[in-house]
Amino acid sequence: MMAFTSEAGLVAIIINLLAILPMFVAFKFVENRHRPFLVTICGSYAVFYWMRSVMLTLGLDSSALDPLAIDPRGVDAANIRLAVWSVLAMLSFVAFQNVAVRPGAAGLPKRRYDFVQLRRLAIYASIGATMCFGVIVAKVGSPIAAIEAAKSEKAVAGLYLLQFGPVAAMVLSLAAALAGKREGHRLVLRMPFLALGLLNSLYVFAWGSRRVVVIYLAGLMLEPVFTAVGDRRTASSSGNQGRDLRRWAGIALIGVMVIGSALGLRVARDHVLQGRTSDAIAEASPLRSVSVAMNATVYDSYVLAVRDTPEVFGFSGSELFINGTGGVVPRAVWADKPTNIAPGAAFRQLYEPEVKNGWPVGAVGEWWLSFGWFGIVLGGILSGVCYAAASQALGDLRKNPLAHALAVGIVFQVLELGLNVQSLARWIGWCGSVLFALSIVARLAPPPKQWGQMAPDRELVRNP
């Protein structure tokens, strides 16, 4: 373990804190309606960067990319760049928090829906999601075979777009469950939509992606957090303190569920593909196992990118962004479309050319690999602007359950760690699929009440 009394150890800890603090400082300068969105951003950075950063800085774990050992100086260099990125992203987020972005911009839903409306939308969207899942099962023979085909054989590559049906149904189911809770409906009425959200998440897991399950559970965990951080006042009565204690206990429980589900799904996928738990989990320490299961080793790849670029590999310029953004163009239209548009795959193949899977480096790493320090500065500023615009368009996440459900996916998947190479393609997939589902379901089963009418939010009435 790093010696805290050594000069190098103290410098490493200070640099690590500088990479973490800007987003917490930003809480003092953003308006109340943006605070829940900022919480989600912090959660994304905590999972994909800060958790591993603390482990490596304090010597609690070694690099997950052995034998490509990462020395402490590489961690410090990566954290310096992350600190600059964080400062610039938060400065631009605060500066542009009142940017004039209306609801409905860039493919976000224009209207709010209450529980009665959302539950009908969720049911019909889930029926469509089941049909989408049925197509892949019919093609490969079974749900288990679907996981294997998607990850190993790429046999379902032509059906890739069908996964966004379950994604949209998951978002609507989560929104329905959240709306039911906020409007005071009994658990027995909300439980079917909690189950539907999980089921639709598992449909996406059949394409080899367990992240959607984690996003769904994170959306549930963040609901009481949004309520807590959206109210600056401190509860003084013993009744409020007891309620807050139960709230944070519930948050902790769902947090354990998020970690446990990520680890369990990773083990399940290993058994489907290999018949056993992979060495990355079975032979690893508990901290390493959790890191691998949560895809938190993005930070390890990012540190490696900083260490070896440009000393070993030159900056790639705009190539990563051209390939990633071009992912929205069908291969039938773009004849020379690269096989791997994910920047993580291109990065790993610099070291292991024969391996198809990638080492994602996160938005900070992608901008560094492309443009160096100029990329860190430009990417940080643009990421903050995108965060502010998305938060302004979504509005107060405490008041709009559908915006809440969308925000978690936008931060953890679309704007993962900032504006990244694949943000455009992911935005079209996540937000576009929800809008498409809303338009189709609304025609097939229009909500019984006029759209846009919301039942009063009881919690917000009590705590305006």
- 203 within domain boundaries: yes
- 448 within domain boundaries: yes
The pLDDT of residue 177: 92
- 246 within domain boundaries: yes
3-state secondary structure of 286: helix
Cα dihedral value 234, 235, 237, 243, nearest 10: -150
Burial level of 250, CB count in 10 A (0-12/13-18/19+)?
middle
In this model, does residue 58 exceed pLDDT 70?
A: yes
Burial level of 192, CB count in 10 A (0-12/13-18/19+)?
middle
In this model, does residue 324 exceed pLDDT 70?
A: yes
Highest-scoring range by mean pLDDT, 20-34, 66-80, 272-286: 20-34
The pLDDT of residue 51: 84
In this model, does residue 364 exceed pLDDT 90?
A: yes
Average pLDDT of the residues in 56-65 = 81
Point out the least confidently predicted range of 85-99, 141-155, 297-311: 141-155
In this model, does residue 455 exceed pLDDT 60?
A: no
The pLDDT of residue 453: 41
The pLDDT of residue 261: 65
How long is the chain?
464
- From 238, 206, 235, select the one nearest 129 (Cα to Cα): 206
Distance, in Å, from the CA atom of 68 to the CA atom of 70, rounded to the nearest integer, reads 6
- 8 within domain boundaries: no
Structure letter (DSSP) for residue 276: S
Q: Which residue has the higher pLDDT, 172 or 136?
A: 172
Distance, in Å, from the CA atom of 365 to the CA atom of 383, rounded to the nearest integer, reads 13
The pLDDT of residue 461: 38
In this model, does residue 380 exceed pLDDT 90?
A: yes
Under 8 Å between Cβ of 264 and 245: no
Average pLDDT of the residues in 429-446 = 75
In this model, does residue 273 exceed pLDDT 60?
A: no
Distance, in Å, from the CA atom of 433 to the CA atom of 414, rounded to the nearest integer, reads 13
- From 413, 412, 417, select the one nearest 428 (Cα to Cα): 413
Q: Which residue has the higher pLDDT, 365 or 257?
A: 365
Give the CA distances from residue 135 to residues 85, 143, 156, 262, 434, in Å, rounded to whole numbers and listed in that order.
Answer: 43, 11, 10, 26, 20
- From 455, 428, 65, select the one nearest 280 (Cα to Cα): 65
- Residue type at position 224: P
Cβ count within 10 A of residue 382: 18
In this model, does residue 232 exceed pLDDT 60?
A: no
Mean pLDDT value across the chain: 78
Q: Which residue has the higher pLDDT, 304 or 450?
A: 304
Distance, in Å, from the CA atom of 165 to the CA atom of 171, rounded to the nearest integer, reads 10
The pLDDT of residue 215: 86
Burial level of 58, CB count in 10 A (0-12/13-18/19+)?
middle
- 94 within domain boundaries: no
Structure letter (DSSP) for residue 162: G
Distance, in Å, from the CA atom of 6 to the CA atom of 448, rounded to the nearest integer, reads 67
Tokens of 254: 């769902």
- 329 within domain boundaries: no
Q: What percent of the chain has pLDDT over 90?
A: 15
The pLDDT of residue 368: 94
Q: Which residue has the higher pLDDT, 439 or 272?
A: 439
Q: Which residue has the higher pLDDT, 406 or 241?
A: 406
Q: Which residue has the higher pLDDT, 72 or 202?
A: 202
pLDDT band of 233, cuts 50, 70, 90: very low
- 115 within domain boundaries: yes
Structural domain containing residue 154 = 105-282+444-462
Average pLDDT of the residues in 346-360 = 83
Query: In sequence order, which ranges of 114-206 are alpha helices (DSSP H)?
Result: 115-140, 143-148, 164-182, 187-205
Q: Which helix (H) or strand (E) holds 296?
A: none
Under 8 Å between Cβ of 57 and 75: yes
Under 8 Å between Cβ of 76 and 363: no
Please give the tally of structural domains in the chain.
1
Burial level of 6, CB count in 10 A (0-12/13-18/19+)?
exposed
Max CA separation in the chain (angstroms): 67
Q: What percent of the chain has pLDDT over 70?
A: 70
Average pLDDT of the residues in 227-232 = 63
In this model, does residue 129 exceed pLDDT 70?
A: yes
Q: What share of the chain is helix, strand, coil (3-state, %, to 5)?
A: 70, 0, 30
Under 8 Å between Cβ of 178 and 223: yes
pLDDT band of 46, cuts 50, 70, 90: confident
- 373 within domain boundaries: no
Q: Which residue has the higher pLDDT, 26 or 241?
A: 26
Distance, in Å, from the CA atom of 326 to the CA atom of 329, rounded to the nearest integer, reads 5
The pLDDT of residue 266: 65
Tokens of 304: 């490696």
In this model, does residue 67 exceed pLDDT 90?
A: no
Average pLDDT of the residues in 182-197 = 90
In this model, does residue 11 exceed pLDDT 60?
A: yes
- From 368, 315, 346, 341, select the one nearest 423 (Cα to Cα): 341
Q: State the pTM of this model.
A: 0.83
The pLDDT of residue 147: 64
pLDDT band of 164, cuts 50, 70, 90: confident
Under 8 Å between Cβ of 303 and 75: yes
Average pLDDT of the residues in 30-52 = 88
Cβ count within 10 A of residue 105: 14
In this model, does residue 139 exceed pLDDT 80?
A: no
